[in-house]
Structure 1
Amino acid sequence: MSTETRISIILGLSYYLSVNPAAYADMERDTILNGQQLRDWESLSSANKVFRLKFFSPRNSNNRYLGICYNTPPDYGEANLPLYDQTVWVANRDTPIADASGSLMIDANGKLKITSIGGDVRSVFNSAPAASTNASATLLDNGNFVLRELNLDGSVNRTWWQSFDYPTDTILPGMKLGNNFKTGHQWLLTCWMNKDVPSSGSFAIGGDPNGTNQNIVWYQGNMYWTSGVWSNGHFGNLPKLLDGEFSYVSNENEKYLTYSVNKSISFLYYRLDPAGVMMVIVLGSFGDCSLAKQDEGCVKKTLPECRKPDYWFESRVGYMLGDGYRFDENYNLSIFDCQDKCEQNCSCVAYASRTTQYRTGCEIWNKETNFYPSGYADREIYILKRDTGRESTNGREKHRSAAMHWWIWLITALGGTTLLAFSIICYVVQRNLRVKGMVKAKTRTILNELEDTITASGKYRQPSDEMDKKMTQLNIFSFQSIAMATNNFSDENKLGEGGFGPVYKGELPGGQEIAIKRLSRSSGQGLAEFKNEILLIAKLQHTNLVRLLGSCIQGEEKILVYEYMPNKSLDFFLFDSSRRELLNWTNRMKIIEGVAQGLLYLHKYSRLRVIHRDLKASNILLDHNMNPKISDFGMARIFGVQQTEANTKRIVGTFGYMSPEYALKGIVSMKTDVFSFGVLLLEIVSGKRNHSCYPSEHPFNLIGLAWQLWMEKRVLELMYSILDDSSPKDEIIRCINVGLLCVQDQARDRPSMTDVVSMLTNNSVRLPVPKQPAFFIGSSAREGESEICLVKNCTNVLSITEMEAR
């Protein structure tokens, strides 16, 4: 066939269809068969053209969905078009297709599926079984899309699957709403995210799973509205259903609501809208719990005490002067969900969708942000409003009338009361001003002490070079932003608590997870440690030291903000019977070497010579790759370049990790940390705590047990049993040798951290034989005396922190 002939046929067919639309109508179909497909630009129409199945894109979106909608009959005017254009069912609501490559088909096995360039699309058809090799899918005039098995003569043998069993947000006449207790199937409506986004929203309505004859609306799994029990043809909270012939079927196998309509009504249907309201198209609505005067059956919403009944949100168009807290896009939040997030957060004063086009996502603002109205803006922002002390006109008139009868007595009484009240007020104001002045002075003192380290409002002092600049930039966070990041310091966000105070998990607006350490007001310790930690850790940068992101100083609040470590602390794994097996020898060795490198940096390579003084398993945090990071520098001591040791009257730290010269005489040096590292090394190898006693000839602590096994050449018995088969024995013996060298009684005998790192990483280095360790009891005990451990069942009473993660 020539090209000219093909063009003539196409032009002729186009002209024929344009002048004779009935011919196109005759080409429409309501069924697809095995091997056939319905492509993106095609559609199915029910036999009497009541419903249409087609691919569509919601307003302001290029995503493609397969859905069922009413056809628009020609005898209804444009005013009624929205009634028919509403989509009543969507097959792939949560997995849209990004382009026009989608198609619906029945494969060779008789199974319905949606395919696209990217492969098969997850949809409700995944629940449809394979019918047979002789199957058809038909769109019926009641809006039901059914998959059937056909007989050889073309008649229907059985129905395998139907869309009426998998409603989305709309219930049509003939559909069910309830539960099948025999199969466990639920006929449930779930609203759209919003009017332009078909993905699953936060509201759902269905039958009570507990078996009572009522329907329930849930919001995020919590009961939001109840219909009341079905009795005498209606639900308790709905004295009159708006239209349709309703019936409620209840037996031992199933309970469900269904309805039918007169033939004269061709477009009645019920839809659960994105705000959780059941809309009756087009006759009314019920179940609206968002108004001041709520419908019957609304379940009282649980709100924090800060939200009193006199608040509401006013819709305004404009801008917020400052960025708010933006929830991650994966939350998939509607504007109703965003309001709930704001209501539950006492710091929130405004909320809005993140996208103006789709009205999805959520951004909330705290009390420090102001609203700027603008007619040029296209973003709708909901601002918190309150009515305080509202009183009706009648009430005020009654009050005024009653006052006229006894005003003389009132003035007399108020004269004396006013004088007394004025005196009290003057005293209270003066005292508050004095207290506030002291608080401000204390805060200013702290800020002055730290001004070379911390930064405010993004303005940094000019350091000497770029490296200094990176190492001294710590942010100051506002207390409101910290409260918002932790959901107002909720218990759900709490990670643990120590001597310093509680520690919370938080999330910054950009999605970065953080750990927040809040100085407890009732704590007798912490202020000195707070300043010490900021001044120290701001100057320290190493992969094996935890990173301090910033701080907050506001009134009595003193808060430190760290990077968040998802695997918590070393003791969380090391001493727990159910988790310790997750630490194989490779991980344990990585932790040992990482801690050693961190200490070597503190002692030798940092700009400050730092003695940590509280090295222990709970102060070793683990990132997502189980890399160790030393934390908690509140007790650290700074040494001069030439200084090797010092005396202190303030003994701080944790029994069991303290060297003897420090615990008994207050002598602190780098060898103090070496001793703590040796204890930690033995704990990592053995999986045992040092401050417990272990059965043997003598009730030794871990150091004593390790020394006895070393002297008896049975040192491999110290290692944790799970390490027996696959672990390198020479490397384990080498680690125990290093550990015993680090815990020797005399500080001068202990190696430096430079030597320790060399011993651990270089197998060619010949190790010295360790001398008797500190706290070893046995050889010096006189015959007949009871032998005890010096460190027995010790708790961390002198530790500044005891938490699981930061």
Structure 2
Amino acid sequence: MKVELTSWRIPSNPSVGSFSCGVVQRLDIVEVFIWNGTQPYWRSGPWNGGTFTGIPTMATYLNNFKTDDNDGEGNIDFYYTVPSELQFEIYMLNPEGLFKQKYWDDEKKEIVVKWRSRQSDCDNYGICGSFAICNPLRSPICSCLKGFEPSSKEEWNRQNWTGGCVRSKDLQCERVKDQNTSTYTKEDGFLTLQMVKVPDFPEKSPVSPDICRSRCLENCSCTAYSHDNGIGCMSWTVNLLDIQQFSSGGLDLYVKVDHTELDKRTNKTIIITITVIIGTVIMVACACAYFMCRTSKHPAKIWHSIKSARKRNKKRFMPFNNGESSEHTSYKVMEELSQVKLQDLLLFDFERIATATNNFHLSNKLGQGGFGPVYKGKLQDGQEIAVKRLSRASGQGLEEFMNEVVVISKLQHFNLVRLFGCCAEGDEKMLIYEYMPNKSLDVFIFDPSKSKLLDWRKRCSIIEGIARGLLYLHRDSRLRIIHRDLKLSNILLDEELNPKISDFGMARIFGRSEDEANTNRVVGTYGYMSPEYAMQGLFSEKSDVYSFGVLVLEIVSGRRSSKFYDEENALSLLGFAWTQWKEDNILSLIDPAIYDISHNEDILKCIHIALLCVQDLAIDRPTMAAVISMLNSEVSFLPSPSRPAFMLRQNLHSVSYEESHRSCSLNAVSITDINGR
């Protein structure tokens, strides 16, 4: 008898829904499947007698499952033993197709989720198509296996991966078969994928790993094999579908590829060795040259050569400030740059940047900020750039300019904008970045026509990318950095809409032993600043966490934090989100452009995490490492958030001294000490 678990149609309607869950046995391979109608939606990976190999956490959570296949008729009994009579557990399939394990927490006196089937988008069956692998820790999550390429690069670039990948080069056995010849050439081989959920449709045979390998190698139709002591040999003669990368657990999968791919792999060690040797020689040579340069060449000589070049071209190109130039400022900048050991940072001359931007033509202007305008440019080698030209009236002066140069030049991460170099001549101070064709995130989120281009899956990917960038700044980079001005307009989008954190002019570098610092100069954007920073000048990692929470609420709701919702009660976006959360009406906060019942649970989880990030006390907010764990569902239970800060609109003209200690001033420039006369 086939036993299936079926979902309700909706949470309030217990009639049979579209999702069902059950155990499937194909060719002696046992797996659990969740179906959406007749289509596979999720699978557990093969059962090896103790665990499902596609559920890395099963040994921790889903233990005490057993099978019995000794009835003599090929049937398998799959059952679960309750570890204790006092333990109360529930297994359920919800209307969104999520299989959950719940238990009664006696301390909290409530039922909590211990495990659920869907931890990330990679758990969606076949999301990346055939011959591709899904990794939830990468962006984008799908990539072709080595030796394969997208079947449609255009669709792949749009992150539509369902078409999957195809071999970039036919197998040797296929070419020999087609040519009907037995001419000896190098045979095909296998590339190893470690710790993965193996593909669907395996064929099982009880042979050793060596025989398993040789059989697959001899069979030209065999595309891959794997071996597990509890299962035996598994081989595939079909397209490899639904492969997922794990950080632990899983099985090793051996994918058959052309020998040229193996040659690349074999030569990798040699290449690395040669590279290390050459790199060492170059570093020694550079060190010697640098020492000689320090003892013989003063920064003034460097400045003199730049000044001469500027004089030759000053009639041809119009400088930013038409007034009197400041050689002292330029010299100071050059002197500071010479003291910063930035071997990879390029120093651009003014003429080169002016040529690239067509003398800063208005048609190349991308935007304007408090620091000054940003221009699009194109270097002679075809490289597109974005030039941030600091105005003289900008609040971002020499200190911020140097800060951004030093900070960004030492950072390398996929979700941080890349700095190509800088220019400092006379009154000119310019930063040259990689060009982001889709501008900033706020352009998409707050534009009714463009917001539809960002569905929930893309917004979720953007949120995770920003979180990974912040985690790198806080914990994983060589410098420990607090951004201090995280907001939607400082999140840039590349051609594939991947997020890049930008504008590090206000960033502060922390020592590894420092947790908190104080400043008398509060900078940033009102609406994103944490209460302890805005009121007391205290900033830490939790200041950025607060800004991240505000940013997530804006992404999910499509509403600006600087505006107010519910004029009668003078509620800010945070206040509006909090009241809707407390009244169990949080669906009203979600941007209609992304509303989809199949994603409701993930959207609500993001709102929950955002509210945890904007809690009034810094100690209550999670770290970015915890935020990423929660986003990836590594944490099964989320604590209840407490009331956020800055819920109400503030009135600058009617805030008394007494009230100013309970609420935030809108002054985003400085802190004023009030003393009696």
Task: Provide TM-score, normalisation by structure 2.
Answer: 0.48
Higher CA-based Rg = 1
Which structure has more relative contact order (CA 8 Å, sep 6+)? It is 2
